[in-house]
Amino acid sequence: MPLVPSKTLTPPVLHGPFSFPSISNPPCFTLHLLNRAFACKSLEIAAPSLSLHSNVPPNSKHVDVATLSNLCVDIVLNVPQLPPPSPVQRKAFMDRLAQSPPDKKYWEAGGNCNMAIAAARLGLNCISIGHVGNEIYGKFLSEVLHDEGIGLVGILSKDNSNNIIDRSSSDNGSYDTLLCWVLVDPLQRHGFCSRADFSKEPAFHWMSKLSSEVKIAIENSKVLFCNGYGFDELSPDAILSAMEYAVEVGTSIFFDPGPRGKELSTGTPDEQRALNQLLRMSDVILLTSDEAESLTGIDDPILAGQEFLKTGIRTKWVIVKMGSKGSIIITASSIACAPGFKA
């Protein structure tokens, strides 16, 4: 017998004030998972109640969503063939592409900018916490965020700039805006290259403390959104520092481990520790069904989501993305699903 979620999903109490837009009467659809079918007829999400875990007054949180790190420019190019698998050859391939900037028509805001832009277009007040350089790509990204009404809070500030002992001995490219080359071959296969692929440590590995500006941004926000690619720029300690401060000031944590989640789960002890803490302390976890399986070893997305809830300390929602089939929202007491968007 198919499991039919109730028409109203009662939301969990998150650790901060946040108003979710309601989705009223979406089209009926049936989602087939393994040997089960889920008929979803309606999904309405109301605003959660304010948690009492923080002394920060609700009216002080005037920002709906703050994203942490992973601000980049995607450059989408058609190429005759994808770069070779060898790291040395791939880096040489990327360096050749970077020698002359492609036309701006191939540039797009990428990384966590996508999250911030989508939220801003839904009417939410958003800020992006991260690094944007002073070169042409940084100016482009700053303009895009400004035009979308998104505030930018620099992660490098007076508080932590003194941690740069000798920039001349560092890779100066680490302080430029992050570029991701999105390469498409004639068969429409995709390849991705960025300098983060060839670095053994995060771009700002020396940064262990949050600046006062970043702390204020987190404190003023209802939600702090993090993803796994943040580890390419920030050390595990810096990411944990942001998470712990969000908990302290009553800001809800949304975490999307992404493809990096699997690598982090088998990475350095510090990376594994930070990943485990994020998964346990986040209010909402978002991930694909493949990512859920890679982190839990459970191929059933519902059971994998329930495993995150069981092992989590603050976890209230797990959202499993099923591609064109839609998404499943799993709580301790409910399972609901939402249809995918039509192309």
pLDDT tens, position by position, 208-254 = 889 999 999 999 999 999 999 999 999 999 999 999 999 999 999 99
What confidence tier does 10 reach under pLDDT thresholds 50, 70, 90?
very low
What confidence tier does 156 reach under pLDDT thresholds 50, 70, 90?
confident
> Which whole number is the average pLDDT over 33-49?
49
Crossing angle of helices 289-296 and 301-311, in 10° steps, is 50
More confident residue, 46 or 197: 197
Mean pLDDT of the chain: 84
The rounded percent of the chain whose pLDDT value lies above 70 is 77
Residue 157: per-residue pLDDT: 64
Residue 57: per-residue pLDDT: 64
How many CB atoms are closer than 10 A to CB 77? 12
More confident residue, 300 or 35: 300
CB 194 within 8 A of CB 88: no
> Which whole number is the average pLDDT over 59-83?
93
The rounded percent of the chain whose pLDDT value lies above 90 is 65
What confidence tier does 309 reach under pLDDT thresholds 50, 70, 90?
very high
Which one, of 232, 235, 227, 281, lies nearest residue 258 by Cα? Answer: 227
What confidence tier does 98 reach under pLDDT thresholds 50, 70, 90?
confident
Residue 200: per-residue pLDDT: 85
CB 223 within 8 A of CB 64: yes
More confident residue, 31 or 227: 227
> Which whole number is the average pLDDT over 277-299?
97
pLDDT higher than 80, residue 173: no
pLDDT higher than 90, residue 24: no
Residue 38: per-residue pLDDT: 53
Amino acid at 9: L
Question: Measured between alpha carbons, how far is 252 from 282 in angstroms, rounded to an integer?
Answer: 7
Q: Which residues pair with 36 in a beta bridge?
A: 33
More confident residue, 342 or 204: 204
> Which whole number is the average pLDDT over 154-164?
61
Question: Measured between alpha carbons, how far is 231 from 256 in angstroms, rounded to an integer?
Answer: 12
Residue 131: per-residue pLDDT: 94
pLDDT higher than 70, residue 19: no
What confidence tier does 7 reach under pLDDT thresholds 50, 70, 90?
very low
Residue 55: per-residue pLDDT: 61
Distance of CA 236 to the CA centre of its chain: 15
CA angle 205, 176, 244 (to 5 degrees): 35
* Top-ranked range on mean pLDDT: pick from 2-16, 40-54, 248-262: 248-262
Question: Measured between alpha carbons, how far is 226 from 155 in angstroms, rounded to an integer?
Answer: 14
